[in-house]
Amino acid sequence: MNNTLLEVSGVSVTFDGFRAINNLSIQIAEPELRAVIGPNGAGKTTFMDIVTGKTRPDEGRVIFGEKSVSLLGMSESQIAQAGIGRKFQKPTVFEAQSVRENIAMALRNVRGPFDVLFGRKADNREDRIREVSDEIGLTNALDQQSGALSHGQKQWLEIGMLLAQDPRLLLVDEPAAGMTPAEREHTTDLLVRAAKTRAVVVVEHDMEFVRRLNCKVTVLHEGSVLAEGSLDHVTNNKDVIDVYLGR
Amino acid sequence: MKNTFIARNPSVLWFLLALAVFTVVVTILSEATGFGLISTSFLKTLGKTLCLCLVAIAMDVVWGYCGILSLGHFAFFGIGGYAIGMWLMYARTEGLVQVSLQSAALPPTPQEITDAIGSQIFGVVGSSDFPVIWAFSHSLTLQLLAVILVPGLLALIFGWLAFRSRVTGVYLSILTQAMTLAMSLYFFQNDTGLRGNNGLSGLQNIPGLEDRSQAVVSLWFFWASAVALALGYVLFAYVVSGKFGSVVRAIRDNEARVRFLGYHVEQYKLFIFTLTAMVAGIAGALYYPQAGIINPAEIAPIASIYLAVWVAIGGRGRLYGAVIGAALVSLLSSWFTGGSAPDINLGFYVIKWTDWWLVLLGLSFVLVTLYFPKGIGGIFDALDRKRMGGDAS
């Protein structure tokens, strides 16, 4: 791949003797939509933790962007500013604040405390907020407390906050969990559209949802890549069948 | 800008109006200007209460808005008091020494004057040398700077170490409490150079204002406290509203998520921690000249815990809640413990409020925490919602 955005190579991480990630190598291009699947404990969430700086690997390299910056020495906030956004499994929007405040906080903008306090360089906010809220279908709810939103709406708000950050790489953890079929469809559309201009990595359990994403799939098992390719390709792979059905 | 600020903070105008009316009424009723219905000692109590309200809103910002339960902000308050107290003691003693040395046969040398001041101030701890930390005590300007800079620097260094290591929640509270305890023990020592457990006294006598009566001086301090509270309220309302306030409240609710949005959470916490410590220092510098005395017991951990109790009872996360809590509880406290509250005779037992006030306070803290987590300020929220609901329908 010549337009690689994220390159994870030879990464291992051990928690109290348990090898959560074992010599993992993944490459993500820009733009690309990628689904990561695997049974519980395969290391999907740990993979995201490593890329976003929450967990430091014992060995290996994580390189981002055309300047090949190593993400390993950077803090979570520096990595976020470099252009990596993350959506958690449980919707984590700031429930005590309005939808507008949530989006405004995420907008790609100055991040330093003094800049934010005195409102420096904070321009064209309102139309950017509108743009995002239109995209996620929450324009009518802009002034609502986000704690009052439905579960699905909270998930969208969080995706909207990711879009507002304008990252080059989006890591999305189980976006469809607990959604109605109609909400799932909307979510699929959102992710597919977002992946037209940037890299989107979706971790998902639900095969039906992955099928609808219609993209390259990486199967993780015991902390390393078991198979990679189209969904049909990996579901016909013998190792994958053993892992998913054999136990 | 002004318009949106007021629109975001409707409580600011109401608060400033109430404070202005209160100040004018108290001034008219005071001994210095007219009716004398408010005694000078009660005027001092009111002035001190305004200072406590100021430190309470600082506590509310750091705890109620930013989620850092600091059990050290009353220590910053005390340090502010000590900083101004050093100048007050030095300058007043200098005046007294010069008067007494005037009758000497030879004019005194500067060294003699310094020695005389030193033995006057430090005689109680068996010393007459000036400790290093008194180096600037002759200068009002420098000590006023110390009122802000010493608490600010302490908070900056402590906060940097604590936040950088990502100490949060109860662990951070315990750490701040340890800092406070260490500080008060340090101040208790005679060697520290702050007169040990005697503390600094005679602070109500302001050098240069000897010919003014205490009634007048107290009124000036009352005004200064009111102005400081008003400015502090506007400052903090500005800080906690708008996008900065949005980030600060988000840090309180989910620090990790804010980090993944790209904000340096530690910088924000450090800013809030340091700014509130500086305001606490200013509040203390206005409080202790009205109290007249400061000693290390004032900065013991229990004082900071009381501060948290006031804010909890008044209502966390709303500035006027902190003001209500601090004013109500501290005034009630001085009423109950001052012996003016009537004892209740149950026949078999007499409830003496001087003993039972703390029980009552503790009980109300538990009840508020369990049943009214929004405190007294929550009542206003409920009223507001009712009115809004009425408008909508």
Q: What does the pLDDT look like over B226-261, one tens digit per residue? A: 999 999 999 999 999 888 999 999 999 999 999 999
Residue B393 has pLDDT above 50, yes or no: no
Distance from CA of A86 to the nearest CA of B (A): 7
Quote the number of domains for chain B. Answer: 1
Distance from CA of A55 to the nearest CA of B (A): 13
Whether B241 maps to a domain, the answer reads yes
Measured between CB atoms, does A1 come within 8 Å of chain B? no
Range of the domain at B230: 2-337
Distance from CA of B270 to the nearest CA of A (A): 10
Q: Which residue of B has its CA nearest to A48?
A: B260
CATH number, domain containing residue A42: 3.40.50.300
Contact B244 A113 (CB under 8 A): yes
Q: Which residue of A has its CA nearest to B251?
A: A94
> Rounded distance, CA B10 to CA B343, Å?
42
Spell out which residues of chain A touch residue B265, defining contact as CB-CB under 8 Å. 77
Residue B392 has pLDDT above 50, yes or no: no
B391, two tokens: 């408008």
Spell out which residues of chain A touch residue B256, defining contact as CB-CB under 8 Å. 54, 76
Whether B380 maps to a domain, the answer reads no
Distance from CA of A233 to the nearest CA of B (A): 34
Distance from CA of A107 to the nearest CA of B (A): 9
Contact A113 B265 (CB under 8 A): no
Closest CA to A81 of B341, B168, B262, B274: B262
Range of the domain at A69: 4-245
Quote the number of domains for chain A. Answer: 1
B245, two tokens: 């306030």
For B263, the closest of A77, A85, A92 (CB atoms) is A77
Measured between CB atoms, does B271 come within 8 Å of chain A? yes
Distance of alpha carbon B275 from the chain centroid: 13
pLDDT for B81-96, tens place per residue?
A: 999 999 999 999 999 9
Strand partners, A33: A200
Determine the pLDDT at residue B125.
Answer: 85
Q: Which residue of A has its CA nearest to B247?
A: A105
Determine the pLDDT at residue A2.
Answer: 62
Q: Which residue of B has its CA nearest to A110?
A: B263
Spell out which residues of chain A touch residue B247, defining contact as CB-CB under 8 Å. 105, 116
Spell out which residues of chain B touch residue A48, defining contact as CB-CB under 8 Å. none
- Find out whether A199 and A5 touch, Cβ atoms under 8 Å: yes
What rounded mean pLDDT belongs to chain B? 90
Distance from CA of A10 to the nearest CA of B (A): 25
3-state secondary structure of B110: helix
Q: Can you tell me which residue has the tokens 């989910």? A: B254
Amino acid at A70: S
For A97, the closest of B246, B262, B267 (CB atoms) is B246
- Find out whether A152 and A179 touch, Cβ atoms under 8 Å: yes
DSSP3 helix / strand / coil % (chain B, rounded to 5):
75, 5, 20
Alpha-carbon distances of A49 from A55, A76, A158, rounded to whole Å = 5, 10, 18
Which of B260, B268, B271, B388 should one mutate to test binding to chain A, selecting the residue with the greatest count of A CBs within 10 A?
B260
Measured between CB atoms, does A237 come within 8 Å of chain B? no
> Rounded distance, CA A91 to CA B265, Å?
20
Whether B139 maps to a domain, the answer reads yes
Contact A80 B253 (CB under 8 A): no
Alpha-carbon distances of A194 from A173, B128, B139, rounded to whole Å = 15, 75, 63
Measured between CB atoms, does A224 come within 8 Å of chain B? no
pLDDT for A47-91, tens place per residue?
A: 999 999 999 999 999 999 888 889 998 999 999 999 999 988 887
* Per-position pLDDT tens, chain A of length 247: 468 899 999 999 998 888 889 999 999 998 899 999 888 888 888 999 999 999 999 999 999 988 888 999 899 999 999 999 998 888 789 999 999 999 999 988 888 888 888 876 555 578 889 989 998 889 999 999 999 999 889 989 999 999 999 999 999 998 888 888 888 888 899 899 999 999 999 998 788 888 889 899 999 998 889 999 998 888 888 888 888 765 4
For A104, the closest of B246, B267, B268 (CB atoms) is B246
Comparing A90-94, B273-277, B318-322, which segment has the lowest mean pLDDT? A90-94
